[in-house]
Structure 1
Amino acid sequence: MRALVSGAVAGALAASTLRLLRHRPPGGATTWDRTNHAGRTVTLLEGPAYAVGAAGASALLGAGPGPVVAAAASAGLGALDDLAGDSDSKGLKGHLGALARGQVTTGAVKILGLGVTGLVSAALIDRAGVSDGAWVTDRAHAGGGSRPRGIPGAIDTLVGGAVIAGTANLLNLLDLRPGRALKATILLGALTATSPGSAAAAGAATGAAIGLLRPDLAGEAMLGDTGANSAGALLGAALVQRAGRRGRLVALAALTALTLASERVSFTRVIESTPGLRELDALGRR
């Protein structure tokens, strides 16, 4: 129920914010206009609208400071890349390579900023988990009683921070075709919302995505780095809220594998050549 309410609030906030921003775009419409893969002009205002809906609903529905910080700060870092970035360096390897040569790109600033954001968000989540007893006692195990889980340590928080940053980066890698990143957000959010501790954050991530799906699929708007980073970080924060050390390590291993694969393999090519994924990716798209 909490996830549904959070999703409804997030969807309404995101959709209404996009309408308002398109009516009066900050800095003018051309500041946010970009050309998509099909050569059409789309607006990046969907990104700020997503962040407002997701972070706003997370705050209103009591998701905790960790998810709110993750969604809002990641959106700010993404906006830096959207509005001031250049295309000379691409991907994790490109930005880190440029940094090694002494060139500070907006992408490198974003990568480092996402790491800090993830760490701060995970620390806030772990502190809240200790205070409400979520880490001390796990009542969901097979025996139906209680068993101690211990107190989160530095390793747990470090891994959690890496999961949040990694998920923010992964969603950004998927924002290459209309609806793709939002569909991934909806699917991952629905899976993550099944735990009471993560319901509000995951519901907000999912609801904001649903609220913006129509203009995204129509090729009128796109998340950009602002929205994709915000969505991914919020999903990562929800995952950290519900997972202990083992779950976080498994998630980090999967994120690391996918990120390394993205440097060598085109996700679009894989999706378009895989039955099932291909149809899901194209569903609802013009």
Structure 2
Amino acid sequence: TAAAGAPAGSRLAAALAGGVSGLVGGYDDLAGARPEQARDKGLAGHLRALRAGRVSAGAVKVAGIGAAAAGTALLSAGGRGARDTRGAGALVDGVLTAGLVAGTANLVNLLDLRPGRAAKATALLAGSTLGGPAGTLVAGPLGATLAVLPADLGERVMLGDAGANAVGALLGLRLAQLTGRPIRTGLLAAVVALTLASEKVSFTKVIEATPGLRELDRLGRLPA
């Protein structure tokens, strides 16, 4: 649906970003559940596994999403949303696109720790970016997210890495098509900062301690 709704120059990029991110996320859902993979969680866990000579399922996912993000940046450079196709400008746009696609894919997945949390965040972000020529890119993913939200809140399903990484990558691609490099640079900086903070700080504890966020997070969930 993202590829079908994307502007003409972004359709292949959307298919690549969402498709590959979903596939490697699905692999991590399956292989990462094995007992020997239990300790290889988070960036630090993946690095420890590599130092020990093991390739964790999460590392495979990171590499796959990174490659998809780089490919998406290359495809986007020739699309309608390209701002500067030569020199330093093209390089900066490519880095911003790749960073937002990969970073947002990971960030949405980090939120998928409580029923409905990642889906609510996805719906809010997708809904706020529906405007503009590239807004149709997230219309389909927004509809799919809202459709699955009741079952997610009811603890019958969860997005998992497959769903969260796919929809996060597509949200990142949408953010990468916003006009103005300062805006996209600020968004990427925020994504990176939140990702690094997640290694030290529990998002759940922060949400529970923050009025407004706490109520939104609990909205629609089953009683504890």
| Both proteins in one fold, TM over 0.5 | yes
Partner of 1:127: 78
The one-character-per-residue Cα deviations of 1:58-91 (angstroms, maximum 9, x if unpaired) are 2322442111211111000101101112212111
Partner of 1:178: 115
Report how many aligned residue pairs link the two structures: 212
What is the distance in 1 between the residues matched to 2:97 and 2:44?
A: 22
What is the distance in 1 between the residues matched to 2:79 and 2:138?
A: 17
Query: TM-score, length-normalised on structure 2?
Result: 0.89
Contact 2:5 2:139 survives alignment (8 Å):
no
1:177 CA displacement = 0.5
What is the distance in 2 between the residues matched to 1:246 and 1:205?
A: 26
1:124 CA displacement = 1.4
The one-character-per-residue Cα deviations of 1:217-255 (angstroms, maximum 9, x if unpaired) are 001000110001001001001111224432221111101
The one-character-per-residue Cα deviations of 1:239-274 (angstroms, maximum 9, x if unpaired) are 112244322211111011001100000000110111
Contact 2:178 2:184 survives alignment (8 Å):
no
Query: TM-score, length-normalised on structure 1?
Result: 0.71
What is the distance in 1 between the residues matched to 2:40 and 2:213?
A: 29
Partner of 2:97: 160
1:157 CA displacement = 0.5
2:24 to 77, 85, 88: 77
Q: How does 1:50-89 map to 2 (within 5 A)?
A: 57-63=1-7, 64-85=11-32, 86-89=37-40
State which structure, 1 or 2, has the greater radius of gyration over its C-alpha atoms: 1
Identity fraction in percent? 48
Question: Which deviates more, 81-90 or 267-276?
Answer: 81-90
The one-letter amino acid paired with 1:167 is: T
Higher helix share: 2
What is the distance in 2 between the residues matched to 1:135 and 1:153?
A: 8
Contact 2:111 2:203 survives alignment (8 Å):
yes
1:276 to 189, 212, 221: 212
| Runs of at least 5 residues in structure 2 that lack an aligned partner in the other structure | none
The one-character-per-residue Cα deviations of 1:168-220 (angstroms, maximum 9, x if unpaired) are 00001000000000000001101122221x21212122111101011000010
Contact 2:101 2:170 survives alignment (8 Å):
yes
1:241 to 177, 189, 202: 177
Partner of 2:124: 187
Contact 2:73 2:98 survives alignment (8 Å):
yes
Is residue 2:64 matched to residue 1:113? yes
What is the distance in 2 between the residues matched to 1:155 and 1:87?
A: 37
Over the aligned positions, Cα root-mean-square deviation in angstroms equals: 1.5
| Runs of at least 5 residues in structure 1 that lack an aligned partner in the other structure | 1-56, 137-149
What is the distance in 2 between the residues matched to 1:100 and 1:191?
A: 41
Contact 1:178 1:219 survives alignment (8 Å):
yes
Contact 1:122 1:240 survives alignment (8 Å):
no
Structure 1 segments of 4+ aligned residues over 4 angstroms from their partners: none
Partner of 1:90: 41
